[in-house]
Structure 1
């Protein structure tokens, strides 16, 4: 007798799509049987032709609690994640107060999150000027690696590092470093304007290109792993490709908004589209898709970065004054699936980009896959169903989204976390530590 069996004629395993019955005991997948196998179970769920996916892993989420909980909090962010088929998030170290730049700050954040999480949660640490000595202790406390900014982060308590400070941080601890790659020398102060093109011009592709080159140079010098966050500028792709050929340990991610939104279609004053680095044009997105298809970009994550409506300056539409961030953790799967299928990609591709590979990036070997021994994080998904995005139906604390009114395909049904249905009522998420996740995997 097992606790749960979930059957589907479309189960997405690391080996591909297949009919199967997934058996679960004590929160783990204990067997994968033929779809029609007789398996004694306390609960037997037959999804028919609906897909069964592994829970997605989102390694780039800004929860902001404590300190800026009015922007977002663990209860709302993780409820939204589960509603979008995401069963694991890794929280970024900034926008909370204090930022996660030492072990004590991590304890404060975990205390704030305790008992609120509807999905499993891990944490990144932060590398800022002067805290290299704190990084080994923070790493030992269980963070998955360290985030650094090469340009202004937008909050004063998390200042950027230069190349020398990044090298000092990398030299202090053997860990994965994830880098916001924009070069401040190439950025321009945006004038007050409701025109998206004025904001876009202030953050040119050259800023990303130069910062990616800096991050690669430091990784080459120190021998450490570096991961380029939320890559927007396709012009930086050849740098990453050559560095990988040279043996530099560098990977890159991108986000649904860079793949599916077009700068040429952003209306004036629509500050819900503002993020940093910025959304660029459709030709640039085509190149990002090509890099994703050939594996040069390894994964797709949300960079869920919400704020209050007031900080988005919808009243004035001033892109220069608005907070830069897109709240999308609940919508990434349908947004990506809608665009991917139009480009000839399969649902297996989307699972690889949004579940398998983000889990591998963080060393989460028990997450992001339907396989014996993995956590039973599962998602029932109707890939052919469609809906119109209604911001009022989102679980984010401040449901402002650039996808409002968009028709997308793919509806998340039941989400299971370690074999238990996520209902949004009783939080069942756990904290994840680097030690329990296993060593991070090279990609």
Structure 2
């Protein structure tokens, strides 16, 4: 065997065979050997050993990140987002097609994204395309096929207003047209599922009271929209994915659809699993997101569905903006931008709550690595196994961390977790065997294989 570039030893490592001591051999950025025991006889040009209080994890895969560049780089950017990702143990992210300008709804929009990302990435980045009215009407779907040929991982759509004018939402007819076109090449349709008619009929959100904002985004908005997605997937055969599920009321619909063979997957987010409406302070617009953080009982049901496999994966929906758009001075939930900046803190937030519930670390990591990689179709990522990229995280699961939004690496110092004491620290992140540091730019742009 040729000489190894790197040998990694750990008494505790999370692998597809479970937690165990391992010795890894890495060559050309790829894991080529996984041997039992932390002192197996391998030699390489470099050697790293996990500390006694560390667990070796696969790099996390976050398939729901709004990088916003180009066009709204003051909200976030590829350099800042990928550094925040690495500090949170995320070695691969897939960028959403909005809120950048132009959005990734055309090949030209994708080219603009790739140009902005070139040479500045700390971790690997792929791209979603977008399904909007302009490319989701009869005779106009050629751009979807062209984007698919260029390697996007699927197509995001909204069923209600997205919050930005350049990314329109789909009617039921346009959703069907997009689904038929995407099914023709066996692509993936991912959907922000809130019903616009239900939202229009709900009380208007205004003021500092979180309960009033919650009433403006009722559970029925999600259940009706998810029903439409399920019926569309049933009729067209498209692979469909429900984004950022917040309402447990939709779980019976999802269970029935899967029993019927509908090709449906579902994600939720750390903020829906670790935060609760009852604890949101008045005027704390850093907690505003759409769909909203709901009550404690709802949160318990999401955890149960996740452990039962009804929800497939956990991803951040990192959706930052500038502080002024969060209306932090007025605390008005009606006017504040809706989005949680959670890319860097998702793993410790999830582990803190999981630990409290008696959920093993291995389950948490699987939901945040192998599962999103499988759902999105990201190959070679999300597991410590021979043939995968040597994307590795040294994680101290007992170390406490106090979150200070001003010290987080994403561009703007706003976080729903500001001041929280979380358990678990990412101490070191490797991308293809190389440590990610503050000035690393070794991340690559990846395409659907």
TM-score by length of 2: 0.96
Aligned counterparts of 2:6 and 2:88: Cα–Cα separation in 1:
22
Aligned counterparts of 1:357 and 1:394: Cα–Cα separation in 2:
26
Aligned counterparts of 1:426 and 1:82: Cα–Cα separation in 2:
10
Q: Indicate yes or no: 2:420 matched with 1:413.
A: no
Instruction: List structure 1 segments (4+ residues) > 4 angstroms apart after TM superposition.
Output: none
Shift of 1:190: 2.4
1:146-198 superposed Cα distances (whole Å, 9 cap, x missing partner): 00000110000001001110110111133101100000111136243111111
Q: Indicate yes or no: 2:81 matched with 1:67.
A: no
1:365-402 superposed Cα distances (whole Å, 9 cap, x missing partner): 30000000000000000001111111122001002001
Select between 165-174 and 120-129 the one with higher mean Cα deviation.
165-174
Is the CA contact 1:29–1:376 (under 8 Å) kept in the aligned structure 2?
Answer: yes
2:138 is aligned to none
Is the CA contact 1:77–1:396 (under 8 Å) kept in the aligned structure 2?
Answer: yes
1:93 is aligned to 97
Structure 1 residues 136 and 338: alpha-carbon distance in aligned structure 2, compared to 1, 3 A threshold? same
Task: Choose from 142, 146, 150 the match for 1:137.
Answer: 146
Structure 1 residues 85 and 260: alpha-carbon distance in aligned structure 2, compared to 1, 3 A threshold? same
Task: Choose from 87, 99, 122 the match for 1:118.
Answer: 122
Shift of 1:42: 1.0
Task: Choose from 136, 141, 149 the match for 2:158.
Answer: 149
Aligned counterparts of 1:69 and 1:378: Cα–Cα separation in 2:
29
Aligned counterparts of 1:317 and 1:110: Cα–Cα separation in 2:
36
Is the CA contact 1:9–1:20 (under 8 Å) kept in the aligned structure 2?
Answer: yes
Aligned counterparts of 1:133 and 1:149: Cα–Cα separation in 2:
19
Is the CA contact 1:327–1:399 (under 8 Å) kept in the aligned structure 2?
Answer: no
Partner SS, residue 424 of structure 2: strand
Is the CA contact 1:58–1:354 (under 8 Å) kept in the aligned structure 2?
Answer: yes
Task: Choose from 172, 192, 197 the match for 1:180.
Answer: 192
Aligned counterparts of 2:227 and 2:400: Cα–Cα separation in 1:
41
Partner SS, residue 232 of structure 1: coil
2:169 is aligned to 160
Aligned counterparts of 1:351 and 1:375: Cα–Cα separation in 2:
17
Select between 288-297 and 390-399 the one with higher mean Cα deviation.
390-399
1:10 is aligned to 12
Partner SS, residue 77 of structure 1: helix
Aligned counterparts of 2:269 and 2:256: Cα–Cα separation in 1:
22
Is the CA contact 1:7–1:48 (under 8 Å) kept in the aligned structure 2?
Answer: no
1:391 is aligned to 405
Is the CA contact 2:203–2:215 (under 8 Å) kept in the aligned structure 1?
Answer: no
1:82 is aligned to 86
1:417-440 superposed Cα distances (whole Å, 9 cap, x missing partner): 0111000213110011113xxxxx
1:38 is aligned to 41
Structure 2: segments with no counterpart, 5+ residues: 136-140
TM-score by length of 1: 0.97
Aligned counterparts of 2:220 and 2:328: Cα–Cα separation in 1:
29
Aligned counterparts of 1:426 and 1:260: Cα–Cα separation in 2:
31
Q: Indicate yes or no: 2:296 matched with 1:282.
A: yes
Is the CA contact 1:22–1:29 (under 8 Å) kept in the aligned structure 2?
Answer: yes
- Number of equivalenced pairs: 435
Partner SS, residue 348 of structure 2: helix
Task: Choose from 406, 427, 432 the match for 2:441.
Answer: 427
1:311-364 superposed Cα distances (whole Å, 9 cap, x missing partner): 000111111100000001000000001101111111110111000100101222
Structure 1: segments with no counterpart, 5+ residues: 436-443
Q: Indicate yes or no: 2:353 matched with 1:351.
A: no
Select between 272-281 and 363-372 the one with higher mean Cα deviation.
363-372
Shift of 1:266: 0.6
